[in-house]
Structures are given as structure tokens and as C-alpha cells.
Amino acid sequence: MLSIDSIKKGVVIDHIKVGGAMQIYQHLNLDKLDCSVAIIKNAKSGKLGKKDIIKIEDRIDMDLDALGYIDPDITVNIIEDGAITSKLKLSLPDKLINIITCKNPRCITSIEREIVHVFKLWDSREKIYRCAYCEQEYK
């Protein structure tokens, strides 16, 4: 059994779909942190069978909308003094701001400088987002 120390203060990102940990690691730029970061792949899970977990031994600011978009089933646990002080259940955000960019070459976002890329949730079951400007589906 692999043993990873529990953390005293920080963040545990739990219930990540198997194979999703590295995408989150990269998205949150965790490689830039000086603190300990543990990535646990294929951990046993009663709910999922297997899951990935990320443990970060520091409090960091996270874009929860981006995390929710990557994997809405994730749980974010905030740890203080070795105990969970809050448990955040994520969901698909209604709006994505500067998380993904429109690929439609006919969209104004393809030419307008410093434009804010906005996508709106169109179908939560199918996880479909559409560009707020041209309405093209993000694929």
C-alpha cells in the first residue's frame, strides 16, 4: 500500500477521474509551487472504483470554474490543522471566462485585440459550451 503523508494545511483535490490529475496539475501551474505536491493516480475509490487525487501542502488560489469545467465531479477539500475545514463540490460553471478560446475563424474573437473569451453553458448533460459571440459549439 502506497503511503502519502496527510497534510496539515493545504488543499486536497479529490475524486478526479482516473487520468485527469496531470491536466489539472498543468492547468493550476502546480509545477511552479515550492511546497510539496503529491499526485496519486489510480487510488481506490468506493464511489468511482479508481480515482486520482492531488495533495498540495499550501493554500493556493484556484479558478474553481476552470476546475469545474475540466471535471465537475471533483471535490476540493480545504485542510487546516490537519482537518478538513471545508469541502467544495464543483459543478459545470454557467459561464467560462478566458478558460477556452473560440476556434471559429469567422468569430470576432479571431481578430479583436485582448478580447475576453466567454463561453456559455448550453447543455449541461452533454457538457456543451457555446461561444458568447458567435454561438459556435466548443469542440
Partner 1 sequence: MRHVIEPTDLSINELDELIALAEDIRLNPVKYADCCKGKILAALFYEASTRTRLSFESAMLSLGGSVIGFASADASSAVKGESVADTVRTVSNYADICAIRHPKEGSALVASQYSGIPVINAGDGGHEHPTQTLTDLLTIHTIKRTLSGLTIGFCGDLKFGRTVHSLVKALSLYPNNRFLLVSPNELRAPDYIRATLANRGCEYQEGELLDTHIRHMDVLYMTRVQRERFFNEEDYLRLKDSYILNMAKLVNAKSDLSILHPLPRVNEISMEVDGDPRAQYFNQVRFGKLIRMALILKLLEIVEWRGGRC
Give residues in contact with partner 1 (CB under 8 A): 104, 106-113, 115, 122-123, 130-137
Q: How far is the CB of 112 from partner 1 (least distance, A)?
A: 5
The rounded distance, in Å, linking the Cα atoms of 128 and 88 is 23
Q: What are 51's three cell numbers?
A: 480515482
Q: How far is the CB of 93 from partner 1 (least distance, A)?
A: 20
Q: How far is the CB of 65 from partner 1 (least distance, A)?
A: 20
| Residue among 83 and 134 whose Cβ is closer to partner 1 | 134
| Residue among 70 and 102 whose Cβ is closer to partner 1 | 102
Place of cell 499550501: 58
| Residue among 60 and 97 whose Cβ is closer to partner 1 | 97
Across 35-60, b (16+ Cβ under 10 Å) vs e yields: eebebbbebeeeeeeebbbbbbbeee
Strand order in the sheet with 128-131: 95-97, 118-123, 128-131
Number of neighbours of residue 88 by Cβ within 10 angstroms = 15
Residue 27 DSSP one-character state: H
Q: How far is the CB of 128 from partner 1 (least distance, A)?
A: 9
| Residue among 5 and 126 whose Cβ is closer to partner 1 | 126
